[in-house]
Structure formats: C-alpha cells, structure tokens
Structure 1
C-alpha cells in the first residue's frame, strides 16, 4: 500500500541509473544541467577524509533510501548525515508526517525502514556514489563522507541489531549486501566506460568513521555523556552530539518566535524544563571534548535538533510535532553563537537548522561546517537547491581552513537573525497558494498566477516577452484581457503573486512591476497601430460609470465593433482611481494612457452629466444594453461614541487630499481605523499633510491578518506610521481615543485565531482627528428605483454566469455588484457581462495573440531556473530570470518528493503537455509533501496515475493506476480507474470496454516501452 516503501535491489537501482541517464540525460529526475562537478579547487579534511564541499542532506527524508542519497550527491551534496536508526524499527507512523508549507513540521524521527533495510540502503548508495563519481567525472579520489546517525538511548544503541548496524558501516566487507553490490557491478562492467573491475575492487568497505548521536527530548545529561563516551571509546567513532534549541530557555525561544511573527506557535514549558539545561550542557560538552581528545577522536555538536511544539492547528496527526526550517534558523544560530563563545571558538559545530542559500555562505564563513539541510530540499526545486549552495561555497574553500570559529562574526549573525526579513513570518504570510481546483489525472501543468488572476492574465508569457525586450507584444498580450495595464501595473493587489510558486522559494515575482514595464515600453508602438472596429451590430450600449468596471466594459464591447457610450457625473474618467487613490501610488499620466487606450476602440465618453439615470429612459434613447458600474460611493459608519467630534471617512479625506488638500488642518496627531489598503492610503496621505506629527493605525487583529496588501503596510510603516494592533475603538472625546484591548484566542480547528476582549483593559491614544477606513457601501436606492432587485442581505440579484440583473439586458459589475472590491475584479465583471452581450449579438471577443516558442528552448531555460533562490530584481525587466513558467513545466510534485516517487514521463500525442506525471507506489511513504506544494487542491500521491509493483499493494490502494500482470510479447495489465478494475492487454485498448482507459493508454504504453526500468 502507499505508505510501505519497497527498497529496490541494487541491480535494479543500477539499471535505472544507467538507462535513465542514457535515454533522457537525467538520473532519478535530476537533469544533467543540475549535476555538480567539483572543479580543481581545494578540498576540506574531516575525520581524516576528503570532502569536496561541506554541505549535504541532514538526517531525514533525504537520506532514507539509496535513490535519495544519489539525487543529493548529483546536485552537490557531499556530507551525508544518514537517517537515524533505533532499535524500535517497526513503528506505526501516522501519515502525512511532514508539513513544509512555510516553517516545517514533522511527526516522525527515525528511518521507516528496519535497521537491516536501512543498512542495505546505505551500502547500495555508497557503491552508486563511487560509480557515479568515476563514470561522470573520471574521479578516483572519493570526495564525499557518510555520517551515521543513531539513537535514542544506550540500551538501544548496544542492542545486537543496532550494534551490527554500527559495526557494518565501520567495515562492511563481510556483509552480504556489500558483497552483492560489488558482484553486481562486476557483472555489469560492460555498461560502463570508465569503471572497471580494479576500480570496483578498490571501493572501500569502511563506510563511516563518524556518528551523530540523536537523543530523545528529556534525555538526562548522564545518559548523553555515557552514550558519547561509548561511541568515542568503544566504537572508536568521531562523534557529534545533537543538541536541542530548548537549551536557549523557554522565554528566549517564545519571545524570539513572537518577535518574528510566529506568535501562533504554541510551546510547552515542560519541553524546556525537562530537557538538558544550558549550564549542564556546557559542563557535559567540556568533559566530552577533553575525553575525545584523549581517545584520539574528534568531538563536536550538531546544532540543532528540531523544536517540539503543540499541534494546535491539526495539520499533522498527534498532539505534538517538531519545528524546523526558517523559523528555527535564528534560534539555532543563537545557540551556536553562545556555545562558540563559551569555548572561545574551539568547538566543532555541525549545523542543521534552517539552512538555505540565503544563510549557508555566512554560516560557513563563521567557521561552522559541515552544514546539512532538509527543509529547503522539501520545497519546490528539491534536491537541485543543493547545486546553488555547492557553487556559492566553491570559491570560499581554501587549502588551509581555520578550524576555529570566528566568534565575533557569528555573534553578529546571531544578533541580526531574528530581524532579517528572510526569517520573518510576513515574508511568506499566512495565505495558502492552493487553487480551488481538483487535480486532474493527466495534463495538470498549470500557471497558478494565471488561474489566481480574476481575469486570467497570461502572466508567464508576458513576463517572458518583456525579458526578451518585446514590449509591444507583451502589451498586446496584456490588453487582450486587461484594458488598464498602467493602472493595474501601478496598484493591482496582485492576486497572481499570492499564488506564485516563487513564494515557496524566496518571494513572488514582481508581476505588477513587469506589467507596468510592458505598458511603458509597448504603449506608444501599440497605439500607433491600434484601429477601431466598425459597426458589427447596430445595438448600442450605455455604460453608467467611468470607473475601472465601466471603462473595461466599454473597451471589450467597442473593440468588437459595438457602439458604446460611457456616462459619468465627474469631469474626468477613472472613478476612485482618478479621484481617491493618492498620487504617490499612481500618477495622472498612467490613468490618462489607459483611458486613451479605451477611447481608441471608439468608445464615447460623456462626462460631467447628471448622476441620476433611468434604465427606462436610456432604453427609449435607443440603448439596447445597459451596464451599471456606479461603484460604492458611500462610507460605512463607524460605531464609535464621541463627544461631538466628527469622524472623517477615509474616502472623503483621500478625495480632499488628492484635490490638493495637503494644507488641510488635521492637527498634530491622526488616528486611522482599519486594516485594508484604504487605511494604508489614508495613513500615508495624512503623514504628508502639513502640521501632522504622528499617524497611528488602529487594527482589531494582528498585522498577520490584515487585509491590506503587504507592500502597502510596509510602505506605511516605513514612512513613519505606527501600527497599534489588537485594539477596538469604543469612544473619542476630549482628544482621546479610548480602545478596548483584544487578544488572540486559542486556534480554531482551521488554524484561525479569533480576537476576544481583555476584560477591563483599555488603551488611550491622543487623537486630534480620527479617520475611519472601515469600508464603503453601495447606493442601493438608485438601483431599486430602476427595478433592480436586491436581496435581504443587501446583494444585487444577478445571473452568476452573465452578471445580468432581473431587468432584461441590464448588467452590473464592479463595486456596485460586489461591494468594495479591486480593480482587477471590476475588470473581470466587465468581461463577463461583455461576453454575454456579445453572445446575444452573435459576436465574440477576439482570441488572445499567440507567441509560440520552441519547446526545447523553453524547457532548457526553465530547467536552469529550478532550485535557484533569488530575491526580486531591482529592474522589473529582469524578473523573467525568476519566473518559473509553471504552465510550461510544473513538475513540482517530482521535485519535492524525497523518494523520487513522482516521475515525469514524456508522452507523444494526445495530451496538452508533453510530460505526464506517474506516481510509483513502491517508492512512496505518503509523507504528504507533494500534496503540500501541488498548486491544485489535491494530492499527487493519491490523485495521479499510479504504477504498482505488487498485487497486494494494488489491492490495498484506491488510486487510479496500473499493475503489470504479465510481460512478454503481449503484456497484460490490471487497471483501476475511478474505482473500476479490469484487466487489459497493452496491444488491445478496446478489450477494456472503457473509453477512459483509452485516454490513459498512451501513458501506460510509454512507461512500459520507454521507462521499463521503473517496473
């Protein structure tokens, strides 16, 4: 069944490696472009062994199976901390067991294999790495190190089973698996170009000279010391002891996590009080360091173990889980700094605690190595992230590495870690990237940014065009779906970026900035050739309101040839964008250029007219269709007791400010109430008003839950606004705003935390004026006067497919339909209504332009970007270097699977994408990591077509998939599709009697004929 891994025999592994490399230029899905070759630089020395580079996978999911270790090696891993073994090797581990969406959690510790199986995997990997080093790079001199990891108490470590494991890794020569691997290599020698029998005979049986001790939380100091002495003296192993971040103390850990925005993480005080205490640990380490020196062995610490936390949100089974990843880095580096200082830099430290491309170079520069990583490899890019680490460290390696840690440099790293943006929760935020779409069995590649955009902008393609300097084409592609590229390129809330795969790398691609660059670079050339469509129909359309929804509706209708008139009571078009959004966010020229694009289609604008309208009168004037885009002009009242003071609505204030009101009298201290983008605009505008000395933003929740765009909040804070969280205003009298203090409740099952009052606790804030940004309301009276139905919840009743109201041929969109919404949502409403109108006239919107690219060129370019962490470029035209073009290649599920259980196979014909995903049941332990990062609301290990190796596994699963029953000239398969099970011959698709089978037949045939090494 799915969570039972079936280790592959060595001959099968070898065949897989060689055939995949020959046919496709990949090994376990790792492309040759991502192989790390050591250049002719110096090597490090550790435990008397050569080490090409001091990085590799930590003891965990990436060192559990032989293929995992191979994948890590190919990408640059050279120090392998093998997954921990213990005497209890038949544990029933609940699944899923990993959640690495942001900071990482897990609920399993040691290998899920038996001790004997784990030993065999490590021996098989040992041979494969030797062979690859020789065959790929003709290198005889080994440059990698295996480090065993054992736990969790002395009795278990001394058990015959674990003792045999330790002795076997020290010298495997007499073990059956070592002899089998050597014999298989000799029998397959003809398949190599550089490996011969002499090389095979020269592969050392001495696999490990070192060990990392992992003990359970709460293990007594005396027990830790006894185990370490045993490993050093009796087992004669160079020893690292893994220490826990609990050494820092409960208060320090809690305060540090909260300061970084992880205040939802719940700790247990007993996890700290029952664990090793710092002073005891210091004494322990000093004694062991001296003991190891006397024994002629190396001794050091591994920093750090994971941090036990309460499982309050239920994302994994059980009541407790273990924290790692970027939230753990500031804790681990602080622990390293404290210990290094205590030993004056003369303590060997091996590091694992949130390492990635942003901090590993500095960790190494401090003198800490080897460095192992796990969480970063669980994210998109997977093992290929090691290549960036290896390449960045390569020029830093010198012939004579100082064994002493640079305490001052390390102190500086530690001091700044909790304040660095890379580790703050707000960088990733609390929102999920998941799309509300079912994961399909085939053809699943998708660009989440495009799907996440309300108007489906072809984001990756226009980013590519901008990167190629083809601005006019990029502008043309954008305006096929969006007539307001300057406006949205300035102030769009970027729903697209909230779905960007880069969120799971570093930070989203700056999509909005690229759109603006396309507009600025392509506008003039496009306008020179823009032409109007002549009357495709005599039907006329009246649009009421010249805001974003109205302008967009006019554009889409007129570009097909319909006669459109837009009416608005204001003297200039643009609505809220023109009159409310402050100039520091968007300039008038940007608005004017978008308006001119709309005018260029032939739209007539009638401005400065009476705001009242009559549907009946407009129809009598000859308008067949009417689109209402009247906006949400009135403000929601703020429930606040006052002493006669007048609360100003944010919209009124911003309107006055944009009209030149920076001279208005606001007093010295301004308070803005609200947490959305309008509140941020109001705060930033108030800061610019003469005489204002202090602007405070009062919000009822914490900033993690603020609806404001993160950029707008950061801009407001950077400009001097003060954020006052967890406050609800109750009264404003005599220049004092009195606020009820709130607190976050315990997490609900969904993970959300409500706010509840702190009884009897208030805060008073001096306020000369209060600006309310708590929402706007639609003028429903004008709608109801025209017979447009509004339900008892205040929503306009429409056909959801067309946005048509109950009045025939009268449509509505934007804020008038939704309430206060975004510009891009207004455009989406306009598109929906325009399509409906055009359909009734026998017309349709033109197809988007196509700019095809050779598949090989695209795939090669995208492959090079995979696994490379790189924060946003200052030049938007270079953001194409970061865009992963997910609609062309996704493959995230193949990248994030430690076991390589999801495989992309190249299938010819019949599919939208050239690659299809096949899940290999026998290589999966159902850790759940592919489900975390798949952009769909699905789980590839459950939802993708599954290859089964055994009939009992097939029968124990519900997955749609296939099992080879018999091979030969006429192979027979057992197939399950959506619960239906049948047997079919590969050469007779009709024998199944199932048309769905015929659709997947090309995949099964391709796997059998071209990827037969995975059976």
Structure 2
C-alpha cells in the first residue's frame, strides 16, 4: 500500500466513464445523476452557473475522477484543490496519514494537492474536457453550465514562481498546453464512440478554463502579504478574486464561548492563532481597498468563508499535533463570520461559503445571498457525492441573481445554528459504530444494527415488513429471537441504534419504536396462532426467576419441545420492568402482553414461589435448572455521616405508592447510570418533592447512562450537579467535594482530580444508585463456585456452572445488565440444554433499486411504520467504503453467481486518507484489508495488502498475494486461492477492464 496516487490517463478515464455507464448505469460508482434545468441558472464571473454548489478545495477536487463524480451528482462550481510551491513528495512527507477523521465533526491534517503542480494542472484540464463531454452525452446540462475556480497559496513569492505562474497562465488560457491539445485530439479521434457529442462540440470546447481564483493563506500570514497576493492576482493576472478568511476574525472569546455552549468544550485550541492571524480591524480596510480595485477593473471580488479551523489533537483523532476542524462544529463559526461581514459591508461584499454546509442548511445559506457554496465534510460521509443531488435541488430558484448578502438572514442562520440539533454536539461522546470483527475479503455486507444486538435480531427484515404494514409477519420475525416485544419495544437499551449507519446521515432509524409499532399492530393476530408446543424432549427444566432472562429461557425451552416450569417469587412475571421500573416508563398492560406469550407457548408458571435449593428441584426430577434470580443485593455507598436509600428500594416504593410517600422537599440521587436517571425522574414526580438533584463526580459526558436517559431526566427538570463527590449528609444538607477534570490520558480520556473546595446540596433524602450486586450467598449455598467478585463461574459459551445441569442467566450472572442481554443469556442456556440453535436468520434481500434510491438522501425522523422506510438495508448492500472514498478507490462489482455486490480496493487511486476506515462497520480499514487491485506487479512490493495485479488479461494470468504468499495464478490451474477470489479476479478482467492500468 502506497499513499502515492497515480493519475489515470485521459483515454482510460473516457473508457471507464463510457463503459461503466453503458454496462452498469453508473459513473465512478454514482447511481444517480443530477439533470440541470436552465431556468435555475445563475451568473457569476460573467459565466453561467447551473447550480451554486460544488466541492470545496479538498479531497473531492484533487483528481479528475473526483471532479467528474461531483459534477455527475449536481456540482457546478468547483473549487479546485489548492496548489503551492511545495508539492509532490516534499508535501507528502509533511502530511501524516491517515489524514481525515469525519465520523462526526470533521478533522483533517492535509491542505494542498498531493500531486506535483504540473500533474494537478493536467488533472484539472482532463476533468474540464470530461465534464464538457458528459454534460451533453448524458443530458446532464449545458456544456457551459459549470465553472472551475482555482485555489493558490500560500505566499506571493511562491505564487510568482515559475511553476505556479505557468499553472495560473495555463488555467487561464490552455490552448497551447500539451495536455489540452492531447485531450482534445483524443476526443476527436474517438468521436464515433459518442452518441450526442459532435466533432463541432469538441472543437468548440473553450480553452480559457478559469477566470477566477481563491487565495488560500497560511495561518499567521500578515495582512500586507495577503493584500499583495490579491493585488497581484487582480492587477497582473486579471482574475476575479476571493480571499479565504478564517473564523479567527471572530476573536478567541467568541469562538471559545460558542464551542463551549454548543457542547464542543472538549475541542482544544488556544488564542495563538487568534492573535497571529489577520485581525478584523485590519481585514475591513484591506477588503474595502480590494473591492475598489476590482470594481475599477470590472472584476468581481469577495471573501471565501472559511479556512478550516486549527485545533489541538488531544484524543488521538489524527497522527499529528494540530488538525483542522470542519463540518457541523465549524458551521456556527463560519456563518457567524459571514453575518458579521455582511453587516459590516451592508451586504455588498460577496461571500463564497464553505464550513459545515449541508442539506439541512443549504437553502438558508443561498437564500441569504451567500453563494457559491462548496462542500467537503458532508460528502465524506456515507452517501458521498450523491448527497450533492439533494443539496443542489434545494437551491433551485428561478431568475436567481446576486443582489447582495442579507445581514439579517445571515444573522438568523448564525443564531439558529447554536441550537440546531444537527450542529449542537450530543451530550455524550459517540459510541463506536464498529462491530468487533475483521473485514472479510468477500461478502462483507453487514447490518451493523443486527450485529450490535445481543440477540442478533433480524432488524432490517422486521423494519421492512413493518414499513409495508405487514405487522403479523414482522411479529413472527421478532419473536423468533425475542419473546418480549413490548418490553424491548419500550425500554430496550437499543444498542442496535448506536450501530445504525443512518447515524452518519442524520439520526438512527428508531428501531425500538418500530418494534413497538409492529407489536402493537401485529400482536393480536399473531398471538391467536400461538399454541402450546408438544412435548418432544426428555427430561424437564426448571427456570428460577420470572424476569426477562427467565421468561426468555422458559420460552425457548418450551418452544423447543421441553417441559418447563418457571418459578416466580412474586404474583406476576416481568422482574425489574414489572416491579421496579416506573409506570411513566412502561405500562402494566404492555408487560402483561409479553407475559401472555410465555403462557401461550405452554410454560407452567408457579407464582409466589421462592426457590432456595437447587438440589430440591433436582430431587423432584428437574434435569436442567436455569437460575435467573437477578441482582437484588443492594449496592451501597457509605458516607462519613448520614444514611442513604437504595435506588431499587426507592423505585419500588415509588411504583407501589404511585409516588405518594414522604421523601421530603429535596431528593439527591448519587450516580450517573440509567437507574440513577430513573430514580431522579421518579423523585421529581414524588408528592411534595421540590428539587430532584443528581450528583456525579464527573460531567454528563462521562456518565454511563444512555444519552436518551440523560435527556429525559433533563426534560423532567432533574438538576444535574456535576463534578461533585458526596462526603456527608447532616441536617438536610449533602456536603460534597468539588472535583475537576484532569488532563487527557494516552487513550484520549480525561481523568478527574479532587480539589480542596466543597459545595452543599439541599437533601432530605439521598438515594444511592451505584449498581446492585449478585446473590453470592445463594450460589455458594447451592455449591456453585464464584469468582473473587462473588459472581458465578460459568462456561461462557453455555452459561453452565460447575454443578451439572445448572445454568445462570441475566443480572444474576454478571450484575445489572440490559434486558436484551438477559434475553441473550436465557436463550444461550436454553440452547445449551437443547443442544442446538433455537432461532434462524431471516434475511430478506432488498431490491437494488430500493436501496440505491435512499443513497445520499437525508431524511428526518418519521413516525409509525414510515420510520422503517428510513432503513438503508445494509444487510443487502453495504457500500459505505465506496461511497465515502473521495478518489473512488473502493469499487463495488457484481460477480456472477454471488448474490451481493463485492468490494475491491484499487491501489493506484488511494492516498491513504483513511476515510473509509471511519465508516466501515467492521473493526478494519478497507484500504488495507480488502482484496486489492494493483496497477503493476511491482506496486505489490510497496504494500502488505492481499490482492492481485493482472499480468496477462487475455490469458487470465495474475500475480497474487494471499495469506502472505505471492504467487502466479492462471485460470484453470490448481491453486490454494479460494474459488470466490478467483471469480472476483476473472470478473474484474472481463467485465471491468477499465480498472486496469
């Protein structure tokens, strides 16, 4: 693997585009094209512009194929990647790889083209011809409907150098350049391959490629130098000119306050750049002078907002000391600077915009008179270039022209950004979206929601059935692995949603809610068909405990044909959901329906029965015993003075009395988990309670509770007392030590440090929610071995203890866990007893056209069955790595005989930016771990990737690396290479020959 990209010859690019479009209906993997309508045309720099959007100077405008993909999907304004004197190998040595991290807000540590300047120029001119051709050939718009804008930096001396001067001159007038002539001649020689483009069209392709420039300046560049560069490009070169301006113009205090208030307090930056960069008081007169100079020469002038924002690497985001922030967190700063300048110049200063623009804000930006708008972060996420189609459509306005920038509209955008859910940071750090498995060479399609679910629910399948209104069928899919659809449809911790690919679009599919919709609408019809299963297995099983784990164990055993008795010490099933979790979270009637399922399959339930002896059960003929006794031993936190109340006891009392008991006026809950949130919310609803406070020694960001639980507690009025450690309770006052967050450790986590300061919190009742403990004594009394923490020792694959035929499941196994983990444990024990898997995977292949129709389309959360329609069917087609690669270096191919598409990596197109690693659901990096196509056998030497280089396409001979060995493969000869990989290579050679260099 080498990070050196090899530009693709113009002829190969033409072949690639035409052949792929003809045979597969795509262009560089893009399935949908934007077709421009001239009634939406605008004008800038004296030339027409079909849409006011396109890719920013960055990873999407570095190579010709990137520009083509962007155009195909709706881009018409291209800010080409910045060129400077330092280029090629010299620049590459300064860029650490990977260089992009775009999982949420985006960071990067690269800035200019990684090609040599002459190479970059050739890429841009090749792209110019390609766009001219495909615009007419594929009916995408006018051949003159797009514009290139060059970006140069970073000082005047470098810009005046021979290398950059030749670049500027050629981009302004390219007719005498070798690359322009050769591209033109190739098209003329191959015009017969084109159906809609004529010889005259090719001959008329204009050679004055670019008449505008954006000046990119390094941080710390003096205002005098910036002005000199601008004056040179305006007066000497005659370019319409934009100058990039940084958010540092807003001042450190504004930036820091904005970031902190929006939840980005963890983003570290000092005031150095704010002091060293161009100052606002210097910028205004400079821009005024330059506006006047351009006006005198009939040239357009403006600012480009904004350069990415420099911040410190603190959490190992990238392998550098400093990186540049962009995307959702940059938007409030960028649009604030736009508003400030619009007001300063009464809307007369033109503003070209970048910095967090996306589907959700693009219309507001453009309608405010701020355009063109260039994109980067949004198209680095799943959906990739296809996100531009939706963005372009949002900007369609008839008779649009630049009438100035509305300072009022821009200011409103700036204010709205600070509270917009798509820009405000989540309260808690994002959980990892990865599944703990290595990426396979073949068949890597995966539904991460299913993989993230402890019981591997067939989520895409029941989402699809629910969206189609097939509720009874959805219930059949759900209950094959989950006998508690109402409980899990209401209060499941929904780890599936944290893995959902839709998180990278806008919001995850609300999987749990869809399950409840299916249950509420399909339960009655489904339950009528459920009858007790015949007894087909020898022996009988006892399940002790009627919580979720016990209910699941009994359900699966009984469904498998075993006689089962479930012993429950209370008068009803449901465990913690029934007896502890408050009614405002879940109704009794919902739990009753799940309990009825256990009865319907034929489980014998013995209520009000407490089991103390396993041996007594065995003596009664029970051949298998599953202990699902929960973790009911109260967790404790001893204060120096004062008594506390256990959270489970408090919640139980709240439920029994419906909140009608005396807890005083002020209740304090100690803890930061989900139980603590429940207790604090219950306290707030308890009769006579005026304040419910939650005390935790760290901040919300580090609380173990789910973000959803935190938000509900905040919405209910719970007061969060962060960075406090309780000490003593005396006379209605809880005294706490004040803590502070420490420095970041090697893992990127911040420690907590005790201070000498104390703080008092009113507290009539102090509730401790620090985790319940397992009933160690029960296990020991029954001869079950425990570990040093008092938990039962079990076989992790079966949950069987040292006592033959005795198993443990649920909270009683490892301590308080989630409901779905309890179901998993119960099912695992049942499968061990029966000796086989007791459910099946129910994959339903989604039609390609339905999957691709959702690609790149952002869509707000729906309600009811419509929510299931937001699922993008990852188990049928997962092409995240293809979509997010700016260079198109990961490609999806259809191999005959294989149901799903296969992914290969193309070495010569990759610069190791690392973006595909961020979005691959596996704990892997596709650019390193997918089967790789090398341009030449020699290129394999610079890589450790498994893959192939074609030695003879006609005879189907390749050099291959597989399992670390390099050997020659010839079709038909005996080999250790798996048949699937052989089919893949043969398909590439025969059906995708345009990939071959």
TM-score range, shorter chain: over 0.9
1:666 to 655, 663, 667: 663
Displacement after TM superposition at 1:563 (Å):
0.8
Displacement after TM superposition at 1:385 (Å):
0.5
2:916 to 930, 948, 952: 930
Displacement after TM superposition at 1:538 (Å):
3.1
Q: Which secondary structure does the structure 2 equivalent of 1:321 belong to? A: strand
Q: Which residue of 2 aligns with 1:949?
A: 935
Q: Which residue of 1 aligns with 2:40?
A: 42
Q: Which residue of 1 aligns with 2:341?
A: 339
What are the Cα deviations for residues 831-859 of structure 1, in whole angstroms up to 9, with x where unaligned? 110000001xxx652535x4745x6xx21
1:698 to 695, 702, 714: 695
State the distance in 1 between where 2:441 and 2:136 align: 40
State the distance in 1 between where 2:75 and 2:722 align: 45
Q: Which secondary structure does the structure 1 equivalent of 2:439 belong to? A: coil
Aligned-residue CA RMSD in angstroms? 1.4
State the distance in 2 between where 1:262 and 1:366 align: 27
State the distance in 2 between where 1:770 and 1:617 align: 41
What are the Cα deviations for residues 287-331 of structure 1, in whole angstroms up to 9, with x where unaligned? 211222122211111111111111122232221111111111111
Question: Structure 2 unaligned runs (5+)?
Answer: none
What are the Cα deviations for residues 596-650 of structure 1, in whole angstroms up to 9, with x where unaligned? 01111100111112x24211110011111000000011221113222x4x31111
TM-score, normalised via structure 2 length: 0.98
Displacement after TM superposition at 1:884 (Å):
1.0
1:812 pairs with 2:814: no
State the distance in 1 between where 2:874 and 2:486 align: 25
Q: Which secondary structure does the structure 1 equivalent of 2:623 belong to? A: strand
1:864 pairs with 2:853: yes
1:979 pairs with 2:964: yes
- Farther off after superposition, 742-751 or 353-362: 742-751
Displacement after TM superposition at 1:560 (Å):
1.5
1:900 to 878, 884, 888: 888
Q: Which residue of 2 aligns with 1:755?
A: 752
- Farther off after superposition, 212-221 or 141-150: 141-150
State the distance in 1 between where 2:903 and 2:495 align: 27
Taking a change above 3 Å as real, the CA distance of residues 939 and 922 of structure 1, as seen in their structure-2 partners, is same
Displacement after TM superposition at 1:713 (Å):
1.2
Contact 1:55 1:77 in 2 (8 A): yes
Q: Which secondary structure does the structure 2 equivalent of 1:805 belong to? A: coil
2:786 to 784, 790, 806: 790
Displacement after TM superposition at 1:705 (Å):
2.0
- Taking the TM superposition and a 5 Å limit, the aligned residue runs for 1:242-261 are 242-261=244-263
1:998 pairs with 2:979: yes
- Taking the TM superposition and a 5 Å limit, the aligned residue runs for 1:686-765 are 686-757=683-754, 759-765=755-761
Q: Which secondary structure does the structure 1 equivalent of 2:138 belong to? A: helix
State the distance in 2 between where 1:799 and 1:958 align: 38
Q: Which residue of 2 aligns with 1:685?
A: 682
Question: Structure 1 unaligned runs (5+)?
Answer: none
- Taking the TM superposition and a 5 Å limit, the aligned residue runs for 1:461-500 are 461-500=461-500
State the distance in 1 between where 2:796 and 2:624 align: 17
Q: Which secondary structure does the structure 1 equivalent of 2:211 belong to? A: strand
Q: Which residue of 2 aligns with 1:822?
A: 818
- Farther off after superposition, 461-470 or 260-269: 260-269
Contact 2:549 2:826 in 1 (8 A): yes
TM-score, normalised via structure 1 length: 0.96
Q: Which secondary structure does the structure 2 equivalent of 1:793 belong to? A: coil
Q: Which secondary structure does the structure 1 equivalent of 2:482 belong to? A: coil
Q: Which secondary structure does the structure 2 equivalent of 1:744 belong to? A: strand
Q: Which residue of 2 aligns with 1:509?
A: 509
Displacement after TM superposition at 1:532 (Å):
1.8
State the distance in 1 between where 2:840 and 2:240 align: 67
State the distance in 2 between where 1:145 and 1:695 align: 60
Displacement after TM superposition at 1:952 (Å):
2.5
Q: Which residue of 2 aligns with 1:676?
A: 673
Structure 1 runs of 4+ aligned residues shifted over 4 Å read 138-141, 850-853
Q: Which residue of 2 aligns with 1:960?
A: 946
Contact 2:40 2:51 in 1 (8 A): no
What are the Cα deviations for residues 112-158 of structure 1, in whole angstroms up to 9, with x where unaligned? 00000000000010111111111111754511111000000000000
Q: Which residue of 2 aligns with 1:564?
A: 564
Displacement after TM superposition at 1:257 (Å):
1.4
State the distance in 2 between where 1:741 and 1:406 align: 47
1:622 pairs with 2:624: no
State the distance in 1 between where 2:340 and 2:837 align: 69
State the distance in 2 between where 1:492 and 1:770 align: 27
Q: Which secondary structure does the structure 1 equivalent of 2:78 belong to? A: strand
- Taking the TM superposition and a 5 Å limit, the aligned residue runs for 1:206-217 are 206-217=208-219
- Taking the TM superposition and a 5 Å limit, the aligned residue runs for 1:26-65 are 26-31=26-31, 34-65=32-63
1:162 pairs with 2:164: yes
Q: Which residue of 1 aligns with 2:112?
A: 110
- Taking the TM superposition and a 5 Å limit, the aligned residue runs for 1:517-666 are 517-609=517-609, 611-642=610-641, 644=642, 646-666=643-663
1:153 pairs with 2:135: no
1:838 pairs with 2:822: no
Contact 1:427 1:507 in 2 (8 A): no
What are the Cα deviations for residues 916-974 of structure 1, in whole angstroms up to 9, with x where unaligned? 11111000001000011100010101111111112331111111111112233x23211
Contact 1:989 1:998 in 2 (8 A): no
Q: Which residue of 2 aligns with 1:385?
A: 387
- Farther off after superposition, 292-301 or 111-120: 292-301
Q: Which residue of 1 aligns with 2:129?
A: 127
Contact 2:463 2:869 in 1 (8 A): no
- Farther off after superposition, 46-55 or 427-436: 427-436
What are the Cα deviations for residues 74-130 of structure 1, in whole angstroms up to 9, with x where unaligned? 111111000000011131122111111111111110000000000000001011111
State the distance in 2 between where 1:138 and 1:630 align: 66
What are the Cα deviations for residues 673-709 of structure 1, in whole angstroms up to 9, with x where unaligned? 1111111111211111122222111122221222212
Report the count of equivalent residues. 992
What are the Cα deviations for residues 505-551 of structure 1, in whole angstroms up to 9, with x where unaligned? 11111000000001111111111111221111231111110000000
Displacement after TM superposition at 1:989 (Å):
3.6
Q: Which residue of 1 aligns with 2:72?
A: 74
- Farther off after superposition, 863-872 or 108-117: 863-872
Displacement after TM superposition at 1:900 (Å):
0.3
